[in-house]
């Protein structure tokens, strides 16, 4: 399934055939600080991600970097170890057919919101969620 997306100003766009991982919400303090809330992201194989425009990368930890538009500041990508690059779900052009399958780093969750009851919630990382592709 080919999906496309991009930043707020349109200077950076992307496309991929996938396969697309279900959306996972990350509540870690880095994601919350980078986005202003928690992050919901899908992912695709890095080699199948086509990016047009200049992406600025910020090395947010020893393990990962975050990609954003240098013009409008839209956070677009999270790139760490493994074969996939995460894509912020809110930057996709819809409809996507994707669904949120779980929440990670719930131990770091902000106190001003609740995670929906019945959602899969993990205190830290969960490779079964983050590396999964349906």
In a domain, 121, yes or no: no
- State the total domains in the chain: 1
Domain that holds residue 57: 3-112
In a domain, 117, yes or no: no
**pTM, whole model, 2 decimals?**
0.93
User: In residues, how long is the chain?
Assistant: 134
d(CA 78, CA 40): 11
Quick: pLDDT tens for 75-109.
Answer: 999 998 889 999 999 999 989 999 999 999 999 99
In a domain, 38, yes or no: yes
Task: Supply the CATH number for residue 82's domain.
Answer: 2.170.150.70
Mean local confidence (pLDDT), 26-40: 96
In a domain, 127, yes or no: no
d(CA 84, CA 43): 6
């Amino acid at each position: 399934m080919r999906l496309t997306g991009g930043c707020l100003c349109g200077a950076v766009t992307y496309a991929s055939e996938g396969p697309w991982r279900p959306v996972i919400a990350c509540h870690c303090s880095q994601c919350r600080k980078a986005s202003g809330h928690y992050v919901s992201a899908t992912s695709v194989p890095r080699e199948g991600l086509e990016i047009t425009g200049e992406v600025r990368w910020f090395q947010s930890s020893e393990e990962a970097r975050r990609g954003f538009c240098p013009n409008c500041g839209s956070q677009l990508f999270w790139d760490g170890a493994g074969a996939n690059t995460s894509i912020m779900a809110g930057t996709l052009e819809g409809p996507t057919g994707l669904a949120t399958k779980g929440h990670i780093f719930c131990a770091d969750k902000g106190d001003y919101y609740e995670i929906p009851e019945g959602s899969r919630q993990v205190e830290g990382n969960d490779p079964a969620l983050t590396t999964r592709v349906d």
